[in-house]
Amino acid sequence: MTSRYINSLSAVNHSTAQGPQKELLDTALKQVGFIPNMYANMVNVPGVLSTYLHGYDLFRKQSGLKPAEQEVVFLAISQVNGCQYCTAAHSMIADKVSGVPANVLQAIRSSQTIPDEKLAALFAVTQDMVKNLGKPNTEKVKAFFDAGYTEDNLLNIILAISVKVLSNYSNHAFGTEVDEQFSAYKVT
């Protein structure tokens, strides 16, 4: 990303951070093993990173969706929001951690038909919710339920959208550079 509209703030350095910023970056370091550029930017306002980490953790642990499904949701949101940083990061997680089938990940990244009906229904309803500001098309909702998903799953997608708004929009504001750990998955 090159565009940036927050110019007077810069990434918070973990080694010089203090107070709530230091505590949040310490937590992030324990969870991820490094301080992602996104976190170093978001922590300028500790409430942004704190809310993100809390909501992200709850979605991961309580959404009722499998890890591969969670990545499909995060990728669907990040693509609609045009967040190259999160698309790269979640592509890496999808490939290396969450077990998204390679052909599904490739289809998502290249805007092709997803070759798994259930994941396709999940992706479609998620993107439609973002595009239509929380008012998805009834046919997409029906396909989502017909695929075996529940109303709880749909409400958890709203949680994921909320979390991704924090990260996607922060990345837009800072023009966040993709970390080396995710660079093989950069959007071109």
| pLDDT, tens digit only, all 188 positions of the chain | 458 999 899 999 999 999 999 999 999 999 999 999 999 999 999 999 999 999 999 999 999 999 999 999 999 999 999 999 999 999 999 999 999 999 999 999 999 999 999 999 999 999 999 999 999 999 999 999 999 999 999 999 999 999 999 999 999 999 999 999 999 999 98
The kind and range of the H/E element at 75 are: helix 67-80
Burial class (CB in 10 A: 0-12, 13-18, 19+), 112: exposed
Whether the CB-CB separation of 21 and 43 falls below 8 Å is answered with yes
Question: For residue 55, what are its two tokens?
Answer: 């909501």
pTM: 0.96
| Residue 74: closest CA among 185, 184, 188 | 185
Spatial separation of the C-alpha atoms in residues 35 and 46, rounded to whole Å = 14
Q: Which residue bears the tokens 């695929």?
A: 147
Report in angstroms the alpha-carbon separations of 100 from 40, 141, 144, 156: 28, 22, 18, 19
Fold of 65-185: AhpD-like (1.20.1290)
CA distances from 60 to 41, 102, 114, 159, 160 (A): 22, 21, 23, 10, 9
Copy the structure tokens of residue 139: 């046919």
pLDDT at 2: 59
Q: What is the pLDDT of residue 132?
A: 98
What is the Cα gyration radius of the chain? Answer: 16
